């Protein structure tokens, strides 16, 4: 399968530094261009305002705050994204109609779900 | 009564009848036994022409005791109490009339007492109730007295009236005692209901509230006489109104008990969550009278339960986040060594731990259905790499066993993906489990259709995990059998399925 993430600008929103760093590594290994990582709502919204973004990986909960405003913004900008979460519930992914990967996740899972999100977006 | 008078008698027949009539009338209106005794003594002294008379009754110990008298000394009453020709319960004995006390067989000391009281003749007339002796009345004469048939029948008539009146008075007394007891027990019961620390209510067949105990009235701020205007349905939270009224309406329509929850505005307009248990109540003729129920305020309990849920969810989240951080650290740490095979094995195991944790938190760390656990752990076989078939009855695992079995199944799957039936298209793995007697669980992992199998040259962590981990964690055993046409692993765990 060809690497659909190569040269894509991917926004990473993750409040846990180590997880963010690992995720960025994996994205860069896949030749993607990392935007961020953003650790809170403000940073993420600002990055979305200032930089071109083609897809996003969004932690559902940032330091106790739901990341809904970012999800709304991504929806409005028609940018495909996936949720990552340590919570069991899928209520938010259902609400926003996006894919979710549960922490701790493997790179393969993130890669697969993000690629699917991009494919679906392209076919719309 | 006129015309029956007989000349020559000191007291005429008509006077006797008049006295009897007055006696009958008096006892009918008497308000106490003392009034009955007084009227009886009047009638006795008048009709039987004596100045002295007495009434005696058996007491609870069967001793004949003076209860009323006229013209008797204290000494006489003290000495002669208990003296009687009859025993309690004797059947309808005839009266005894003694014309001369000296001619009787009574002991001398009794004769002396009687003579000492200036008594020459005397009459013993039994008082009976339902044909049984309960006492007697006595007449005393200083002069010799002969008792003719008329005075005997007058005496018996008075005795019958008197016995009957005493019986009626006793029945009245015991009826009043029973009533008082009933009133007392009603008051006790009312107090119990009234002061019970839960809300108790009764409704009519239409569901309108007919009675509320104190706690319930206090909850809604209703006065004791304000029930007519009280509309409990109007206090239900708008969001709960439909289901509360619906369920209650159905219970009333079908005459069924019901348990329901809903929020109600209390007297301070605060919403309180009440749990209601209600049952239909029926009259003695079987007709439906309405519902009777208790309400318990479970607002605090609910909020504690909700907080516990939130804390559990938060804890699960943090544990999973921590596992994700461990994963990230491993990724960063091993990156320099480029030993990515080991990293991915490690990360795989970590993910299985997280997945088992996920399932366990979903069941609040109580018990895990084995089939759910197996499916979750063994999910994610890439397409074109064989299939896994599950077969086994519903079986609930305790948390510790669940984690151990999850890790074991993961090792088997990892091995199968690398070397076994899941490394090629068309291979199959059958995962079958069954509880066996003596509280053991047997899981059989069977691979088919993979490449030819050879026993591994070295024992890795997977084998270790299987053969030793399971042994200690499960009090069980795992036996790996590298058969040429596929690996067979039999896991046996000492593990009672939970109810």
For A53-66, the pLDDT digits (tens) are 999 999 988 887 88
The Cα–Cα gap between B128 and B136 comes to 8
Q: Looking at the DSSP assignment, which residues form a beta bridge with residue B293?
A: B201, B278
Cα-based distances in Å from B36 to A25, A30, B72, B157: 114, 117, 19, 15
Q: A21 vs B351: CB contact, 8 Å cut-off? A: no
Mutation for A interface: B315, B319, B326, B327, most A CBs within 10 A: B327
Rounded CA-CA distance B167/B128 in Å is 9
Does the beta carbon of A105 lie under 8 angstroms from any beta carbon of chain B?
Answer: yes
Distance CA(B328)–CA(B108), nearest Å, equals: 123
CA A5, A7, A13, A15 torsion: positive or negative? positive
- From CA B101, how far away is CA B111, in angstroms rounded? 7
B447-460 mean pLDDT: 74
Distance CA A25, CA B225 (A): 76
- Retrieve residue B117's tokens: 């009281």
Contacts of B359 in chain A (CB under 8 A): none
Closest chain A residue to the Cα of B318, Cα to Cα: A86
pLDDT, one tens digit per residue, over B298-353 is 999 999 988 888 888 778 778 888 888 888 888 777 776 655 677 777 778 888 88
- Asked if A88's CB is within 8 angstroms of B361's CB, the reply is yes
Pairing of strands B387-391, B428-436: parallel
Q: Enumerate the residues of chain A whose CB falls inside 8 A of the CB of residue B325.
A: 16, 18-19
The domain ranges of chain A are 9-104
pLDDT score, position B6: 41
pLDDT at B161 over 60: yes
- Given this model, what pLDDT does residue A85 score? 86
**Nearest-CA distance from B286 to chain A in Å?**
51
**Percentage of chain B with pLDDT > 70?**
92
Checking phi first, is residue B89 left (phi over 0); if not, alpha (psi -120 to 50) or beta? left
Residue B323, classed as helix, strand or coil, is: helix
For chain B, how many helices (H) and strands (E)?
13, 17
Which of A103, A108, A109, A111 to substitute to test the interface with B, most B CBs within 10 Å? A103
Instruction: Give the mean model confidence (pLDDT) for residues B66-95.
Output: 92
Compute φ and ψ for B263, nearest 5 degrees: -95, 140
Chain B residues touching A106 at Cβ < 8 A: 344, 347-348, 351
Domains of chain B, by residue range, sit at 13-174, 196-297, 302-494
pLDDT higher at A14 or B358: A14
Q: Which CATH code for domain B196-297?
A: 3.30.450.20
Within 8 A of A112 by CB-CB distance, chain B residues are none
Closest residue in A to B330 (Cα) is A22
Whole-number Å distance between alpha carbons of B54 and B143: 18
Instruction: Give the global pTM.
Output: 0.53
Class of domain B13-174: alpha beta
Conformational region of residue B62, where left means phi above 0, alpha means psi within -120 to 50, and beta covers everything else: left
Q: What is the pLDDT of residue B40?
A: 93
pLDDT of residue B496: 65
| Residue B61 pLDDT exceeds 60 | yes
* pLDDT per position as a tens digit, B43-57: 999 889 898 999 999
pLDDT > 80? residue B361: no
Does residue B226 register a pLDDT over 50?
Answer: yes
Size of interface A-B (CB pairs under 8 A): 64
**The total number of residues written for chain B in this structure:** 499
Tell me the backbone φ, ψ of residue B100, rounded to 5 degrees. Answer: -140, 110
Domain B302-494 indexed as CATH 3.30.565.10:
yes
Domains B196-297 and B302-494 share a fold: no
> Which pLDDT belongs to residue B319?
83
Where residue B8 falls among pLDDT bands split at 50, 70, 90? very low
Q: Which of A110-119, B63-72, B452-461 has the highest mean pLDDT?
A: B63-72
Class of the domain covering A9-104: alpha beta
pLDDT band with cut points at 50, 70 and 90 for residue B237: very high
- Per-residue pLDDT of B363-419, as tens digits, reads 777 788 888 889 888 887 777 788 899 999 988 888 778 888 888 888 888 888 888
Least CB–CB distance from B321: residue in A16, A26, A106: A16
Mind giving me the DSSP string for B144-197?
A: -----HHHHHHHHHHHHHHHHHHHHHHHHHHHHHHHHHHHHHHHHHHHHHHH-S
What's the pLDDT score for residue B199?
94
């Amino acid at each position: 399968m060809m690497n659909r993430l190569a040269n894509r600008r991917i926004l990473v929103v993750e409040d846990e530094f180590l997880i963010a760093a690992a995720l960025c590594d994996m994205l860069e290994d896949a030749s993607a261009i990392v935007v961020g990582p953003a650790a809170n709502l403000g940073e993420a919204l600002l990055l979305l305002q200032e930089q071109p973004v083609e897809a996003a990986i969004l932690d559902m909960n940032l330091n106790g705050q739901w990341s809904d405003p970012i999800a709304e913004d991504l929806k409005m900008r028609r940018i495909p994204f996936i949720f990552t979460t340590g919570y069991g519930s899928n209520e938010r992914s259902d609400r926003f109609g996006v894919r979710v990967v549960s922490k701790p996740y493997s790179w393969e899972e993130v890669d697969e779900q993000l690629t699917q999100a991009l494919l679906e977006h392209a076919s719309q | 009564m006129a015309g029956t008078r007989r000349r020559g008698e000191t007291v005429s027949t008509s006077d006797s009848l008049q006295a009897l009539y007055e006696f009958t009338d008096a006892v009918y209106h008497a308000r106490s036994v003392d009034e009955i005794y007084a009227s009886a003594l009047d009638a006795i002294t008048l009709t039987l022409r004596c100045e002295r008379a007495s009434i005696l009754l058996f007491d609870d110990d069967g001793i004949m005791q003076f209860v009323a008298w006229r013209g008797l000394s204290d000494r006489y009453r003290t000495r002669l109490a208990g003296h009687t020709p009859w025993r309690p319960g004797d059947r309808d004995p005839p009266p005894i009339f003694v014309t001369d006390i000296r001619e009787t067989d009574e002991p001398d000391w009794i004769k002396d007492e009687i003579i000492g009281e200036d008594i020459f003749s005397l009459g013993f007339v039994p008082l009976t109730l339902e044909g049984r002796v309960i006492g007697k009345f006595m007449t005393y004469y200083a002069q010799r007295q002969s008792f003719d048939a008329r005075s005997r029948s007058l005496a018996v008539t008075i005795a019958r009236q008197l016995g009957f009146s005493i019986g009626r008075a006793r029945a009245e007394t015991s009826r009043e005692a029973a009533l008082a007891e009933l009133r007392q027990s009603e008051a006790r019961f009312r107090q119990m209901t009234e002061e019970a620390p839960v809300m108790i209510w009764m409704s009519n067949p239409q569901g309108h509230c007919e009675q509320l105990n104190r706690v319930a009235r206090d909850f809604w701020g209703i006065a004791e006489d304000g029930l007519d205007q009280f509309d409990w349905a109007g206090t239900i939270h708008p969001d709960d109104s439909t289901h509360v009224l619906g369920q209650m309406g159905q219970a009333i329509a079908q005459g069924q008990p019901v348990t329901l929850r809903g929020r109600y505005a209390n007297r301070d307009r605060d919403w309180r969550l009440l749990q209601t248990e209600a049952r239909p109540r029926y009259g003695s003729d079987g007709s439906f009278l309405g519902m009777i129920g208790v309400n318990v305020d479970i607002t605090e309990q609910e909020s504690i339960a909700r907080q516990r849920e939130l804390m559990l969810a938060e804890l699960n989240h943090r544990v999973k986040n921590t596992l994700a951080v461990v994963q990230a650290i491993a990724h960063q740490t091993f990156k320099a060594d480029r030993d990515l095979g080991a990293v991915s094995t490690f990360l795989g195991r970590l993910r299985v731990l997280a997945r088992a944790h996920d399932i366990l938190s979903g069941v609040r760390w109580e018990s895990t259905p084995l089939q759910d656990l197996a499916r979750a752990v063994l999910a994610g076989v890439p397409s074109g790499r064989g299939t896994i078939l599950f077969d086994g009855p519903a079986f609930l695992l305790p948390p510790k066993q669940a984690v151990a079995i999850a890790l074991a199944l993961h090792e088997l799957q990892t091995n199968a993906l690398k070397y076994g039936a899941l490394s090629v298209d068309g291979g199959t793995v059958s995962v079958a489990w069954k509880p066996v007697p003596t509280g053991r669980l047997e899981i059989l992992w069977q691979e088919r259709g993979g490449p030819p199998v050879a026993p591994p040259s070295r024992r890795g962590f997977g084998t270790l995990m299987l053969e030793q981990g399971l042994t200690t964690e499960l009090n069980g055993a795992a036996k790996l059998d590298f058969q040429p046409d596929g690996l067979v692993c039999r896991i046996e765990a000492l593990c009672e399925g939970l109810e």
